Amino acid sequence: MLLAIGNYTATTAAGVGLAAMHESIVARKSGLRPNDLEGCDLDTWIGRIEMLQAISLPPHLQYLLSRDNLLAWLGLQQDGFLESLAQLTGQVGADRVGVIMGTSTSSIGRTEEAYTKLLPSGVFSEEYRQPELLSLHAPGAFVSAATGLLGPSMTISTACSSSAKVFASASRWISHGLVDAVLVGGVDSLCMSILYGFNSLELLSSNICRPFDRHRNGINIGEGCGFAILARADLLPDAEFALLGYGESSDAYHMSHPHPEGEGAVAAIDQALERAQVSADEIEYVNLHGTASQANDRIEAHVLAQRFSRRTLASSTKGWTGHALGAAGIIEAIITLQALRNGLIPGTLNCEEQDPEAAFKVLIENVYMPINKVMTNSFGFGGNNATLIFGRMDG
C-alpha cells in the first residue's frame, strides 16, 4: 500500500518551523550555543530553543505541563499543521486517526524539577503531582489530548531511533486497517539526566560538534520536535511525497556502542531498499545519523561504503540542530523531505577536514539539485536501528 506524507513541521534550535529551519540551512547558521541551561555547569554546547520561555499551555492542558509538552505544543502550532489535521479528521473522523510519538526522555525534566522543590515532608508539592507525566507515554498522551484525536495512541522509546520507527509502526497500523491515518511525531527536551548521563559516558564535546571531521570529539545535545501526517494515498490527493520503504533491526551488540561492522545498520538499510523496491544506486541523498562521536561516524561511513557509490550524496545535519535523541529521527526525516521539496541538499556543517580514515566521504557544502528518492538513518543505543526511504508520489 502506498502511503502518502501529508503536512509536516519541525522545530529545533536551528529554527521554529520549516521556513526558519530552511533559512538556517541556506545561511549555514548553526542553532548550537555554549551550554547556558539553567542549573547545568557542564562544559559543552547545546541546542536550546529560546522561544520555550514565552510559551504556555492552554488551560485545559495545564495538568500536563512540562518542558517536553511545551515544546510539543509550540511545534504543533507551526506550518498550519493543526489546520491540516483538522481537515483530515473532518474526512475520516477523529477516531480513525492514530497517534504514534517517539521520545527518549519523555517528561523526566519535570520530575527532576519536582525533586528540587520537595515539601518539608519529603513529598511532591501539588503542582508536581502529575501521574500522567511519570510515563514514557507522556508525549503520546499529550498529543492526543492537544489535538483531540481519538484513535489508538502509542509512544515508542528506542533511544535515537524512536521517532524514525514511528513511520514503520504507522505503516503497519494503516496497512492492517486499524486506522486510516496517523499523526507521527517525536519530541525530546533538554534535561539534566541526559546531559550528565552522556557526560558520564564521555560522549559530550566541549566544542561545537563536527560530524565526520578528523578532529571530532563528541556530540552536542539538542532539543526539538517534529510532526507529520501519514495516510492512505486516496485521502491526500495533493500529497507530494510518499513513504516508499522502511527497515528496522536490533543487533543488541552493546548497550551504547554500535556493532563495529555495522551489521544491524546494514540490515535496516537492506530492508528499506527491499520494501521500497529500489536499488542503492537510485538513492540520491542519505541523511546520516552522524552524531560526531568517533565510533558512530566511522562505522556509519563503513556501512555506506558497503551499499552506496559516490553517486549518492550523504551528510549529517546535527551541526545545525545538535542530537535531539528521541526526536532526531523525525527531525531528520523532515529535513530530508525538505531536500526533496526544495532541491537543497544540506552539507555537513562544522566539518572542516574530513576524517581520512572514513570509508565514505560526506558532502560538506550545500548543493542545489533536483532529487527524487532519499533515505534517512537513525541508529540508537542497544542497536535499535531504523532506515526510512521517501520519494515523490508521481515517481
> Domain of 96: which CATH number?
3.40.47.10
With cut-offs at 50, 70 and 90, classify the pLDDT of residue 84.
Answer: very high
The percentage of residues in the chain with a pLDDT greater than 90, rounded to a whole number, is 92
Structure confidence by residue, pLDDT tens digits, 37-57: 999 999 999 999 999 989 999
Average pLDDT, the chain: 95
- Phi and psi (nearest 5°) for 377? -110, 140
Instruction: Output the pLDDT for position 68.
Output: 97
State the DSSP H helix or E strand holding residue 181, giving kind and residue range, or none if neither: strand 181-188
With cut-offs at 50, 70 and 90, classify the pLDDT of residue 257.
Answer: low
- What pTM, to 2 d.p., does this model score? 0.97
DSSP characters over 135-161: STTHHHHHHHHHHT--S-EEEE-BTBT
| Annotation marks residue 289 as catalytic | yes
Q: Evaluate if residue 219 carries a pLDDT over 70.
A: yes
Domain of residue 12 covers 3-392
Structure confidence by residue, pLDDT tens digits, 117-129: 999 998 999 999 9
Q: In whole angstroms, give the CA distance from residue 211 to residue 291.
A: 6
Of 137, 259, 302, 323, the active-site residue reads 323
Q: Evaluate if residue 2 carries a pLDDT over 90.
A: no
Of 160, 191, 209, 225, the active-site residue reads 160
| Annotation marks residue 160 as catalytic | yes
Domain total in the chain: 1
Q: In whole angstroms, give the CA distance from residue 194 to residue 191.
A: 6
Structure confidence by residue, pLDDT tens digits, 197-218: 999 999 999 999 999 999 999 9
With cut-offs at 50, 70 and 90, classify the pLDDT of residue 238.
Answer: very high
Q: What is the mean pLDDT of residues 66-86?
A: 98
Q: Evaluate if residue 253 carries a pLDDT over 90.
A: no
Instruction: Output the pLDDT for position 256.
Output: 63
Contacts of residue 371, Cβ cutoff 8 Å, sequence gap at least 6? 284, 285, 339, 340, 343, 345
With cut-offs at 50, 70 and 90, classify the pLDDT of residue 337.
Answer: very high
Q: Evaluate if residue 228 carries a pLDDT over 90.
A: yes
With cut-offs at 50, 70 and 90, classify the pLDDT of residue 366.
Answer: very high
Of 22, 137, 259, 289, the active-site residue reads 289
Instruction: Output the pLDDT for position 57.
Output: 98
Instruction: Output the pLDDT for position 142.
Output: 98
